[in-house]
Structure 1
């Protein structure tokens, strides 16, 4: 795999990563509702999900899922359930602003955010189709085996994506922190976050 191809792929990853999508909205919602640390943790969870997709693509599991529509539907429903759960819990937290303060948002909640972000990414079947459609355009014949090329490209995508997503998490978390002194605004921020989670759930179910 030539360096020029890797660089071209990296540039494409930057363009793709800066375009707002469901993952970025999920990270932004967490940052707004819970602060900078949670926004970055959500970004790390999304990157972990991408790692799972990368390994699956390298092993050829993406093509297998594409050939099994029932499996993809199950994945889609699971993702929607996770997002509805996030919407409900965030909406409930809007009723108790003190509970949403970063100082009281402990490691257990951060671990839960990481796990939920990972599961949301893994349960998005559109990511499977993205790998199947996008990666083969940069695969070269000869040289490295195709699974190795997939792993390299996946690594580049994860590094670029995490850099962008972590920045989004930090910015949205900083905005939340600046407004924490005004409980009424913080309650509305939580409601906006809950609406984003709910909207993503609807989109995941309806967008085919």
Structure 2
């Protein structure tokens, strides 16, 4: 891969990362509900999921899954169930919040990280994206195809985290300002629940 191709790929990754998608909405929901740290940790989890997708695609497992529609459907349904669980948890937090306790409900950052990783891995469109987008930047000669996949995946992780981490910080900062009013926390959790629910519906219905 020459420098011009790498720069072109990085620019394409930046454009793709800026466009709001499932991962970004998940990060926003966590930042709104639980603050800046949760938003950034969610972004780290998404980047970890992308790294896993990169390795699997480099090993050829992505093409295998894409050739098996049943496997992709199973992954999609599992991801939808998981997002519904998050929506229900956010609604419960909204009901339990009171004016005397406007702080975000407790959830370990480790759990937020694991949830973000699983959410990314449960999205079969990421696999299809790798198979459709990455080959356009492959070159013959020099590095092998798996190595090129790994390099491009690393670039996508760096660029994607730069954008997603910033979004997580911004969402958490905005939520922190809004929480100064006692009743805002309940509505923030409701917004998070709505985002998680919408992502679950999209994951099931979007082909």
Structures share a fold, TM > 0.5?
yes
User: Cα distance, 1:46 vs. partner?
Assistant: 0.4
Measured in 1, the distance between the counterparts of 2:184 and 2:111 equals: 25
Q: Is 1:105 aligned to residue 102 of structure 2?
A: no
| C-alpha RMSD of matched pairs (Å) | 1.3
Q: Is 1:39 aligned to residue 39 of structure 2?
A: yes
User: Cα distance, 1:171 vs. partner?
Assistant: 0.3
Q: What residue in structure 2 maps to residue 10 of structure 1?
A: 10
Measured in 1, the distance between the counterparts of 2:3 and 2:56 equals: 24
Question: Is the CA contact (8 Å cut-off) linking 2:14 and 2:159 kept in structure 1?
Answer: yes
The DSSP-based 3-state class of the residue aligned with 1:205 is helix
Q: What residue in structure 2 maps to residue 153 of structure 1?
A: 152
Measured in 1, the distance between the counterparts of 2:102 and 2:142 equals: 52
Measured in 2, the distance between the counterparts of 1:105 and 1:93 equals: 10
Measured in 2, the distance between the counterparts of 1:8 and 1:29 equals: 31
Alignment of 1:33-72 (within 5 A): 33-72=33-72
Measured in 2, the distance between the counterparts of 1:47 and 1:97 equals: 31
Question: What is the TM-score with the length of structure 1 in the denominator?
Answer: 0.95
4+ runs deviating over 6 angstroms: none
Question: What is the TM-score with the length of structure 2 in the denominator?
Answer: 0.96
Residues 87-112 of structure 1, C-alpha deviations (whole Å, 9 max, x = no match): 0111111122367725x736xx2111
Alignment of 1:151-190 (within 5 A): 151-190=150-189
Question: Is the CA contact (8 Å cut-off) linking 1:93 and 1:100 kept in structure 2?
Answer: no
Structure 1 segments unaligned to the other structure (5+ residues): none
The DSSP-based 3-state class of the residue aligned with 1:131 is helix
